[in-house]
Chains A and B, each alone.
Chain A
Amino acid sequence: MTEPVLSVRNLQVEFASRRGTLRAIDDVSFDIAKGEVLGVVGESGAGKSVTGLAVIGLIDPPGRIAGGEIHLAGLRIDNLPPEEMRRVRGKRIGMIFQDPLTSLNPLYRVGDQIVETIRTHLNLSETAARRRAIDLLAEVGIPAPEKRIDGYPHEFSGGMRQRVVIALAICAEPELIIADEPTTALDVSVQAQIISLIKRLGRDHGTAVMLVTHDMGVIAETSDRVAVMYAGRVAEIGPVQDVVKNPLHPYAKGLMGAIPTLAGEDKRLVQIPGSMPRLSAIPRGCSFNPRCAFAFDRCRVERPEPLQRGAQAVACHLYDTVPAESAA
């Protein structure tokens, strides 16, 4: 395999708080290859968004990257000086946020915001940048872009605004797009359009995509690989079919079991008992152990490290001593 576009190694993110340092991301590692879509799922507070922000270098104090390395196409970016990191943002990494209604500056025309971003990163004249902005709007599926480019954000619907946000994120042809819950704030009918748009853009431009969401349906539809996060750690990572059809980690099993199916309507929806621990009270050993039906003594003392099982990697002691069948 060629060098991955994004390589995150043992990333740790900490937030200083009055009650001591909280570790939001603990020892997270993953790669994303060119043209690949990596889905990142987990409950709220599992560290999905923080991981995305860490990659693009927008962790603000009191938060900080406390350890690990992030490489973008071989270049280490987690310790770049602010000005160089700024040049990476928008140019080589594009980011899409959750709420398109608040992501655009209400006082500037949509076109001016795109042109400003293009001219920040590419050496283009005003007119060339404007032409490019119109092309981009057309590419993300905005009708009559030569007219809409002079519109203000409030003149666009939610779905259309998210398309504008996507156009802004890809305007300098980045190698990586981080999409942080890009469809959560949208209508279901619009969600599918946005997802297929992101997928198409990734394919057409060979862009790597990190798709952060809590929606398993979106992941199953879009991603090539999926990382399941729990309490700031990757519980399981692997090809999307494997993880969805045959999850290994007890938490991943629970998550997949919680997807309602059309076929089995008579069954009660499966729940994972309990809730995710707060950052200030992460249990010793495996952070999932208080909620895990299979937990044994070792889970309460020793933190599990990721173990390779076929194409999947799973951080669970169940797979350390005995082969997979005992887990079911």
Chain B
Amino acid sequence: MLAFTLRRAVQAIGVMFAVGIIAFSMFRFAGDPVNQIVSIDTSAAERAIVRKSLGLDDPVPVQFVRYFADAAQFKFGVSYQFRQPVSALLSERMPATLELAICATVFAMVFGILMGVYSALKRDTVLAKLFQAVSLIGISLPTFLIGILLIYLFAVTLGWLPSFGRGEVVKLGWWTTGLLTLSGLKALIMPSITLGLFQMTLIMRLVRAEMLEVLRTDYIRFARARGLTTRAIHFGHALKNTLIPVITVAGLQFGSVIAFSIITETVFQWPGMGLLFVQAVQNVDIPIMAAYLLMVSLIFVTINLVVDILYTVVDPRLRATVGRAA
């Protein structure tokens, strides 16, 4: 088990290394970084000084090692547009993004699983068919459109919810949270739904399909032949078997929730990492873009690792094979 975890951790470091190369090469790909720092009328001598002070005259591998070593300590350099350390900018924006992503995922999981189980067990009811239809809309409508429609309905027409921003936030150490104020909570509702709707419909369809599959298995038939209650069969035996693929998908989707929060954050002007990234793209602020790339991949890799470990907790068969392989 430990060997398994270690092996996966080494693989994760390998992936991060590869992403590091890509992030690093972005600096060169977008032209000479010195040009982006200095103004047009700077003399060549001054440029050389800047180049030297930033270590840009060192050989490329040396620069890469330095960049990677700094990045491993969460030092991503200084933003071109804000003239502030990128790590400070990111850590200031991260709570907003994580809070939004977690709320969206919880929303997606809770409603996705509930609706999925319901539409599997009561397949022929009107409500189940309605869920199916709605899920089709959820899967096919683009995120920004859903966001704009929600804003139009609940912020503009009804005036119930704020159309942008995070509302009032409370500072807990370096973390800022909108969960403790009413305006913060209200501001969280629409972005969470917008961001989580796609995952919700995905999870719902997955749970429904898996549940129907599991209900056809021999062990469910045998459980019925043993006279277990319907409740025990559906929610004990069937649901647990259904949840294995759901964990994978929900876990992997959490990464994309964070990555795709760019769109939602732009629509709702949510002060998170995604909005920061969009602004960085508009201003060719490469340190932020590179750091964002690294952060998102770190989150992805970490989630993958956690999902792999979670599997073995849920499925004893995997525990055995993992133990044997190790």
Contacts and interface: CB of A to CB of B under 8 A. Distances in A.
A90 B132 CA distance: 36
The number of chain B residues touching the other chain, given as a range, is 20 to 34
Nearest to A107: B240
A97 B229 contact: no
A294 interface: no
A131 interface: no
Given A107-B240, A108-B237, A155-B320, A169 B219 contact: no
B173 interface: no
B241 A107 contact: yes
Interface of B is mostly: helix
Given A102-B219, A103-B218, A105-B241, A152 B227 contact: no
B314 A102 contact: no
B155 interface: no
Interface in B211-249: 217-219, 221-230, 232, 236-237, 240-241
B315 interface: yes
A108 B226 CA distance: 15
A97 B218 contact: yes
B31 interface: no
A90 B225 CA distance: 6
Contact of B219 (A89, A103, A120, A154): A103
Given A105-B237, A154-B320, A120 B223 contact: no
A90 B233 CA distance: 14
B228 A56 contact: no
Contacts of A87: 227
Interface in B177-224: 217-219, 221-224
B59 interface: no
Contact of B226 (A106, A120, A155): A120
Nearest to A106: B317
A172 B227 CA distance: 10
Contacts of B61: none
A106 B314 CA distance: 11
Contact of B316 (A89, A152, A165): A152
Contacts, number: 78
A243 interface: no
A3 B317 CA distance: 47
B316 A107 contact: yes
Given A102-B217, A107-B240, A107-B314, A89 B222 contact: no
Nearest to B321: A154
Contact of A120 (B222, B232, B237): B232
Interface residues of A, number: 30
Contact of B225 (A97, A99, A104, A155): A97
Interface string A142-162: 000000000010110000000
A86 interface: yes
A317 interface: no
A181 to B, nearest CB: 12
A32 interface: no
A205 B317 CA distance: 35
Given A105-B219, A152-B317, A89 B241 contact: no
A165 B54 CA distance: 72
A172 B221 CA distance: 18
B186 to A, nearest CB: 41
Given A116-B232, A120-B232, A154-B317, A105 B223 contact: yes
Nearest to B217: A102
Given A107-B314, A107-B316, A152-B316, A56 B219 contact: no
Contacts of B237: 105, 108
A95 interface: yes
Interface of B: 217-219, 221-230, 232, 236-237, 240-241, 314-317, 320
18 contacts: A58-B224, A58-B225, A86-B228, A88-B227, A89-B224, A94-B225, A97-B225, A103-B219, A103-B222, A104-B219, A107-B241, A116-B236, A117-B227, A121-B227, A152-B316, A152-B320, A154-B320, A168-B222
Interface of A: 56, 58, 86-91, 94-95, 97, 99, 102-108, 116-117, 120-121, 152, 154-155, 165, 168-169, 172
User: Closest 7 interchain pairs by CB?
Assistant: A90-B227, A89-B227, A102-B218, A95-B225, A90-B226, A152-B316, A103-B222
